[in-house]
Amino acid sequence: MAPVITIDGPSGSGKGTIANRLASRLGWHVLDSGALYRVLGHAAAEAGVSLEDEDRLADLALEMDVRFHDGKVFLNESDVSLAIRTEQAGNAASRVAALGEVRAALLQWQRACARAPGLVADGRDMGSVVFPDAAVKVFLDASPEERAHRRYNQLIEKGLSANLESLVSEIRERDDRDRNRSVAPLRAPEGALVVDSTALSIEEVLERVLERVREILPELRC
């Protein structure tokens, strides 16, 4: 298997930004696992499949034709990049991600992304379940208020409506659901570098991650 660096954390912790910057720095592939669950939630809504129907959702997960290209996400050749970034899509993703059959259906798809020269995978269980033998594991966190503020700015920049107070509430609910689900709960993997990004800039977080990468994989010269 190609070398893997995992970056886990709750919604809005900055893991996607750091994963993309790190992958660009290394010239590696990147996996946004959260997008898979968002796409599934979107596909379920399009197909009229209940988020409670675990069997049908698992089948839908296996049937989906998902492609990532130039920072965009395509479902069956349709660009769903904006559609899957709404709060509704995020909540749907959190609900379907709690289902064991759904996670099992997407497991091999995610592991197949580990190809040369290497993979930076971001999500909530990348280091604990999907890639337990990853060379480097990172867990990013931040306060719910800071994460809501970041999310608010992202939505406004994309021309989408947002309410900061509602975002804080939704993030707290999602955190509780993700951390207490019976299947692959959100937690810092054993041996992971834990970084609280609440008061840190993107550059400061990236440098801390790079320090760990240089320590464990000195041959990368990053």
* Closest listed residue to residue 37, CA positions, set 92, 114, 119: 92
Give mean pLDDT, residues 175-198.
90
Domain-embedded: residue 205: yes
Structure tokens at 143: 């306060």
- pLDDT-derived band at 135, boundaries 50, 70, 90: very high
Domain-embedded: residue 60: yes
| Residue 109 pLDDT | 87
Domain-embedded: residue 219: no
Residues 6+ apart with CB under 8 A from 171: 10, 11, 12, 144, 147, 148, 151
How many other C-beta atoms are found inside a 10 Å radius of the C-beta of residue 109? 15
Structure tokens at 53: 């129907």
Domain-embedded: residue 220: no
**pLDDT-above-70 percentage for the chain:** 100
- pLDDT-derived band at 177, boundaries 50, 70, 90: confident
| Residue 155 pLDDT | 84
Domain-embedded: residue 19: yes
User: What is the overall mean pLDDT for the chain?
Assistant: 92
| Residue 178 pLDDT | 85
Domain-embedded: residue 133: yes
pLDDT tens-digit profile of 13-35?
999 999 999 999 999 999 999 89
Exposure string (b/e) for 172-193, b if CB count within 10 Å is 16 or more? eebbebbeebeebebebbeebb
Q: Is 91 exposed, middle or buried (0-12, 13-18, 19+ CB in 10 A)?
A: middle
Domain-embedded: residue 101: yes
| Residue 204 pLDDT | 97
Backbone angles phi, psi at 61, to 5 degrees: -60, -40
The C-alpha atoms of residue 139 and residue 125 are separated, in whole angstroms, by 10
pLDDT tens-digit profile of 66-119?
888 777 899 988 999 989 988 788 888 889 988 999 999 999 889 989 999 999
Structure tokens at 38: 């968002």
Which amino acid, residue 155?
A: L
Give the domain CATH number at 36.
Answer: 3.40.50.300
Give mean pLDDT, residues 154-161.
84
Domain-embedded: residue 222: no
Number of domains in the chain: 1
The C-alpha atoms of residue 49 and residue 149 are separated, in whole angstroms, by 32
Domain of residue 46 covers 4-213
